Structure 1
């Protein structure tokens, strides 16, 4: 049976499995996104769309909370350049983190995935955050409560056949408007062991920029 993760639940990757988990993947999927607008009579209307995309971002930090590396889709390059971040790339410098985009595959169990090889993680990396964000080229007022059925899944590899856990993130009525970044989870070292915590917390774009750049 696949464990269902709860918000703020922590998994010890060395103790909660028959053998310590060295490689795994984080994937996300969503059913649709509802957009609100006004019709020709001025009444507020709701419609579902597949034109708005979300992106999975992985950011690595050292013990001093300084960003070491960043992995995400290159389609966010204009936003990254605007905010003085490194360009989006699919593979981290240490080759431990890899980004995959399956958004165009209709029957895929996920739309975005990041694979992790703990054996290759740079020794400087102390903790890693996984974020989900809106494509700001297509939406000016991001709102995660408009996202239907948002799920985060973890696999023992890149294969959906090795599903380890599943976390359905409650987005309805829990995320404020313009909180366009969702902190999915945190991977971190503790006593030379790796632990993983599900978060599901929405934050503003400015909060994300300040935290990632080490601005308190």
Structure 2
């Protein structure tokens, strides 16, 4: 009788151990499945996010003493952070609306400003949404050189005017919307930043955007000088 009881106990033990291992395996499979589902959700979410685009500005720098120079600056637009603001600049570049528009204000060590597509002197501008549009958000900070930000006349007065920083400008945070950064050609931006200016920060020699567009595989890094 005791032998039979021992055999039964042994069988129950093996069965219980089998059940336990099976439950552990099932739990592991559930965890792996959940991880895969979470990973797939992340992938799908990334697909829904707007992709950043890169545009370029061809800029001619007039010089009284030497030949004019033409340079190309590439800029990444932050569609993933400020899609409405990025879209405005992107469409203006794609449609070449900045052709003939000067950098009308240059402050050494601070920024270069341009983009007045209506009056060409810093008093005008027009967005793709009408004359002006509201500040989208101030998530990105003016914490380095080479940042593209909206110039404005106060809150919610964004149009086509923009500036590129020549240094960190924390005093502009919360007042101007950062929406891009220079990816190639920052040396040209720095050079423009050293242009001689008058008492109102207007360059004494013209610095003009002559063409703009989207970067594609066939677009070269620089125009000929």
TM-score range relative to shorter protein? under 0.3
Between Structure 1 and Structure 2, the one with more helix by share is 2
- TM-score normalised by L of structure 2: 0.24
Larger radius of gyration: 2
- TM-score normalised by L of structure 1: 0.25
